[in-house]
Structure 1
Amino acid sequence: MRHGALRDPGRAAAELGLAERELSIALDDLSRLGLVHRAGEDEVWTPVDPTVAEVTARAPLEREIRERQLELSRLHARLRPVAALYAEHSRSERRAERLRQVDSAADVRRELSAMTRMCTEEMVSIQPGGGRNPNTLHGIVEESVAMLERGVRVRTLYQHTARASLATQTYVRAVSAAGARIRTTAEVFDRVIIFDRETAFVPQSRVEGRPQGASIVTDPTVVGFLYRMFETLWRSGRPFDLDEVIAGRLTEQDESAQDRLAADDLRLAILRLMAAGLKDDVIARRLGMAPRTLRRHLRDITGELRAESRFQAGYRAWRLGLPLEDEAGEPEPADGTLPEPE
């Protein structure tokens, strides 16, 4: 080949230290790649410019890709009008029902997935508890990013305790990079997911021995109330640092400040619930943390206030002027939130 052609395979094999069969296999491979071909009356092996070989090999593949793209375009043109009709029909049915009970967890997931695909403007959600299930987050990240790429706004409100969850941090990093906005707050009422201010998913009350389903609400008055509740909590929330740092709205110093503010919010929430006379297990559930974690916070609070008991800690917090009542001036109500569905 160095001389422009391979005229004597036996001699070439000897020079390369190969058996003639090995040389024959190598030539067949080069021929399939289009890098050599037989030329002239003697049909000697002649090298081909790799650029020419590439163009020759790419041509049928590119032709097939174009044909597939054309086929996809035709399929899209045929199905898109039907999909729009189906979505509008589904919305009309949902609005007419006002309230629908879905008892199976699998059916709830299917309904959520369908609403995620049909959502056109905004999805907001409240996710109580600490870090969420890693398998759940892994399953919804693609759907969330797909919504954002369609121009749908996504806002999610977690509790402060979710900041320590690596799985939640990974999810927040992925969706924040695509444009989602995430905040955390000390307390939330229950899990709620609202699509386009028209459809809300709320968990059913737990019944022992039965899987927890969801209620799908389309009544405008109820959905409007739930949306306003979300907005109130959203305004009181702290930006999840990953969201704001990726968007360039927070410096590293701001990021640390947000973490400190979230920790302060959490301590005040603990003091408020203590002042309301709630038990430790109820406080822990309200704040989305384990009882052991709550006890650690209580030790830190009593130590910081130089108190020897919970009562003394509450008294000293009151003397310091810390807000131990809600905005209406009433103590925190007894716990009535629903536990997180599995």
Structure 2
Amino acid sequence: MPPGDERHRPHGADAWCAAGAALYARALRERRVPARDAERAPCLVDFGLLHPDLDDMAWLLPSAPSRALLRLLRGIEEDVAHERRREAELTAAFEPLLALARRAAERTAAPAPPDRGAPPRSSAITLLRGVPRITDAVCRAADTCADEVLTVQPGGFHRVWDLGSAPPREQPLLSRGCRLRTLYQHTARHAFPVLARFEELAGDVEVRTLSEVTAQLVVFDRAVAFVPADRDRALALEIRVPALARYLAALFDRLWRLATPLFPHPAPQPARDGVTARQRAIAELLTEGLTDAGIAERLGMNVRTVRVHISKLAEVLGSTGRTQLGYRIGQSGLLGPTDPGGPRGSHGPGRSR
């Protein structure tokens, strides 16, 4: 390699190289640059910041930074959608195992709840019947927790381990050095009591949100997990199978990396083309054919709020009916890249162990 000839090193869109930054600034000033000048900064073409001049292929024209950013963000949204599909596939694959465990636990479960002071069951997976028994088991696990608590709270703003009606024990955990991470749905971003409650806590607390999350989940020290066993939360499974508890914690980690920070440092959810992040989530479910009630259940909203957002979507896209709205959503590029060859983004680093 000749002296002074520095080859371009691949990098992400969030870390500009000096050659690329200088060439793009020049392209904005001069309206175009020779294509040969981009050989030392191919990242500008890869990220969609420069594109060929169709009238003269020897030149490259600059794209608006906002347009290039939207294309990269669409790539991230595709990755999120892919992970949601994988989540559904993994859940479906484990459903027969969970059903088998429930049937086995039902055959061995005691007919009456144990005394509050009774030691934990030795069963690897235990079916807990009734709120008092669920509360007792969750509180025992919290009392012995030494490292971290991971929780998923869909469709509501429960306390971190509210599988039944466990009393609040977040602060004692935090005071002895445990870490607390909680996933809510995006609707929690607009609920003042959520932030107010976490602001009262002192310790290592983080909260993030997603449009959709799994069923309720609580994991202590990646060793003990609790999941609901019915829709009314009158039944729950206490899981002390190390491999299964670690699997559930790994699933949480994957969702955590895709989620948007809410506390202690909230990240904004900017609108794009007049459509907010919540409205894009609703638009995606509309194209799947869900009813207003179905969308409300999936996203943790009430039906009235869903209908307000659908009306705003229709107004932005110029639609006069629900069928036409679905067509307009598909044609707008709102849910995916309009350029199949466009660059893909990468996930943010996220904090995980």
Shared topology, TM-score over 0.5? yes
- What is aligned with 2:42? none
Between the two structures, name the one with larger relative contact order (CA 8 Å, sep ≥ 6): 2
Q: CA deviation at 1:111?
A: 1.4
Q: What is the CA-CA distance between 1:265 and the residue it aligns to?
A: 3.1
1:130 aligns to what SS in structure 2?
Answer: coil
Aligned to 1:243: 264
One-letter identity of the residue aligned with 1:269: A
Q: Give the whole-Å Cα distance in 2 for the aligned partners of 1:279 and 1:132.
A: 26
What is aligned with 1:181?
206
Is the contact made by 2:124 and 2:240 (CA closer than 8 Å) also made in structure 1?
yes
Q: Which has the higher helix share?
A: 1
Q: Please give the alpha-carbon distance, in whole angstroms, between the structure 2 residues aligned to 1:124 and 1:141.
A: 17
Counterpart check, 1:278 vs 2:290? yes
- The 1-side partners of 2:206 and 2:149 are apart by 11
Per-residue deviation at 1:217? 1.0
Q: How does 1:72-111 map to 2 (within 5 A)?
A: 97-111=123-137
Contact 1:132-1:162 within 8 A present in 2 as well: no
Tell me the equivalent position of 2:24. Answer: none
Residue number in structure 1 paired with 2:146: 120
How far has the Cα of 1:149 moved from its partner?
1.6
User: Structure 1: where are the runs of 5+ without partners?
Assistant: 1-88, 246-254, 326-342
In structure 2, list runs of 5 or more residues that go unmatched: 1-117, 338-353
The question of 1:268 aligning with 2:293 is answered: no
Q: Are the equivalent residues in 2 in contact too, given 1:127–1:159 (CA < 8 A)? A: yes
Residues 185 and 238, structure 1, Cα contact 8 Å, conserved in 2 = yes
Partner of 2:190: 164
Aligned residues: 216
2:220 partner letter: F
Q: Which amino acid aligns with 1:237?
A: A
- Matched to 2:280, the amino acid is L
Distance in 2, Cα, partners of 1:133 & 1:142? 7
Cα distance in 2 between the residues matched to 1:168 and 1:118: 26
Q: Partner of 2:150: helix, strand, or coil? A: strand
Deviation at 1:219, TM superposition (A): 1.9
Offset at 1:298? 0.9
Give the aligned partner of residue 311 of structure 1.
323
**Which residue of 2 is the match for residue 33 of structure 1?**
none
Structure 2 distance, partners of 1:236, 1:305, is 28
| Alpha-carbon shift at residue 99 of structure 1 (Å) | 0.8
What's the secondary structure of 2:264's corresponding residue? helix
1:223-262 equivalences in 2 (<5 Å): 223-240=245-262, 242-244=263-265, 257-258=268-269
CA distance in 2, matches of 1:184, 1:204: 24
Aligned: 1:153 with 2:174: no
**Contact map agreement 2:147 2:178 (CA 8 A) in 1:** yes
Give the alignment's TM-score, normalised by structure 1.
0.57
CA pair 146-300 structure 1, distance change in 2 beyond 3 A? same
- Does the 8 Å CA contact 2:178/2:204 hold for their aligned counterparts? no
Q: Are 1:197 and 2:218 counterparts?
A: no
- The equivalent of 1:35 in structure 2 is none
Q: Distance in 1 between matches of 2:240 and 2:271?
A: 39
Structure 1 counterpart SS, 2:200: helix
Shift of 1:140: 7.0
Give the Å deviation of 1:272. Answer: 1.5
Report the TM-score, using the length of structure 2 for normalisation: 0.55
Cα gap change, 1:181/1:283 in structure 2, threshold over 3 Å: closer, same or farther? same
Change in Cα spacing, 1:280 to 1:323, as seen in structure 2 (3 Å) is same
Alpha-carbon spacing, 1:205–1:130, altered in 2? closer, same or farther (3 Å):
closer
Q: Distance in 1 between matches of 2:287 and 2:330?
A: 10
Q: What's the Cα RMSD here?
A: 3.0
Give the partner amino acid of 1:227: A
The verdict on how the C-alpha distance between 1:114 and 1:259 changes in structure 2, with shifts beyond 3 A counting, is farther
> What percent of counterpart residues are identical?
31
Greater gyration radius: 1
Q: Residue 81 of structure 1 corresponds to which residue in structure 2?
A: none
Distance 1:289 1:276 in 2: 18
* AA partner of residue 280 (structure 1): D
Cα distance in 2 for residues equivalent to 1:282 and 1:309: 19
